[in-house]
Structure 1
């Protein structure tokens, strides 16, 4: 008994020293299970290592999702596909393969409010995190304010380096407010860094014909549209509002209750 305890103490300490926390916590349980199942050494070792690997993979996924700064968690599995606009329904299967990220191509979800643009964008972003991609979420207004702060604090170059390296950037709410000249130039410059190299998802409630309203510069508007749409996936998200459907369903439940 003392010898067994001594061996277990050594295993525990080795796992602690070489940073195998999952094995450290579960090896005794796994040993007991292996004895009951009468499995060979190779199977026992493989299952023990898989337990550690699974835990590390889950932790890494959770960390990537946390670092992405999503405002809330919305999964693709929670989407009601039949309620999406027709174009989104047709392209849904292709989008969830994340091939556009592998290709470094942009995805633009354009349509009226409430049709699932942000949900789709966040769902794709979370799936990308789960599959090992580095992701960052922000709204366009927040991004522009942040870039202006970085410029005034002389940290813009460091931010550019980070921004350029994300496998996927999700920019929500393009078109809800207009920009001044500085904001438009900063946005154009930073998105140009990623063009053709890394993927950006943009949600917008405005058609491209109306982007001049937010950039207030015809030349800048044309250049921005050209950069963002080159070989991009364009999804028409015009349709009946998701939120309106949910509100009607809720009201009907209240009436029935």
Structure 2
């Protein structure tokens, strides 16, 4: 069989087997193998390693895309000296992602602009790179989705989907209050994950003010109890990181 025919057959088989690197880069790999005088074993190892690396990279890209982050922020880009002390002390712990394995929650509570969302997204993206299934949502968006699911009689399907995520980042608790239906739905679905799957919540309100959102002291107390059990509660009160960035930008103009 001619070499060109063999190459064509290999590429076709690679496509059928969903091996995109081999189907795309076969010619380059063969040239490289000839230059380096590789053995068959070394050539095969090189091709499979590159295929594996591409599949891994594509998997990370897909998980980050499916997580629906509003923008990309990396935990390595956090300015530690600008973070509140409590957050600074816990960055290394959160970066290990051990809390996901133990099903623990993280609650980042503090005034606006102190890095809550940046930290939450950074942890979420790192979790995606480690193979975890992640979802980013805002609390208002989550409430709307829950209400729509109830109206469409698809709450069970939403519940099954919700429980499959290894980590959910729920941003912006405290910016709007909820009616009774929304409060009950949010309580139910966040409680479903308690103690089993991890959730990161960012909030601008201290716990004693959560009843301003949920309007029901008993439900508020129950939710706080469920969410904080064996959880990391991080004091994010401090100087606004965004304000500092704005001031630096203005000085450069």
**What's the offset of the Cα at 1:46?**
0.9
Number of matched residues?
253
CA distance in 2, matches of 1:67, 1:7: 38
SS in 1 for 2:2: helix
**What's the offset of the Cα at 1:17?**
2.1
Of 111-120 and 7-16, deviating more is 7-16
1:66-215 equivalence runs, <5 A = 66-215=65-214
CA distance in 2, matches of 1:100, 1:208: 22
Corresponding residue for residue 30 of structure 1: 29
**What's the offset of the Cα at 1:98?**
0.6
Pairwise CA RMSD of aligned residues? 1.0
Q: Which runs of 4+ in 1 moved over 6 A?
A: none
1:213-228 equivalence runs, <5 A = 213-228=212-227
Please give the per-residue CA displacement for 1:179-218, whole angstroms capped at 9, x wherever unaligned: 1111110001001110110000000001111111111111
**What's the offset of the Cα at 1:126?**
0.7
**What's the offset of the Cα at 1:25?**
1.1
CA distance in 2, matches of 1:97, 1:83: 21
CA distance in 1, matches of 2:179, 2:16: 55
SS in 2 for 1:203: strand
Gap regions ≥5 residues in structure 2 = none
Corresponding residue for residue 239 of structure 2: 240
**What's the offset of the Cα at 1:39?**
2.1
CA distance in 2, matches of 1:98, 1:21: 31
**What's the offset of the Cα at 1:109?**
0.4
**What's the offset of the Cα at 1:75?**
1.0
CA distance in 2, matches of 1:164, 1:8: 46
Gap regions ≥5 residues in structure 1 = none
CA distance in 1, matches of 2:12, 2:181: 57
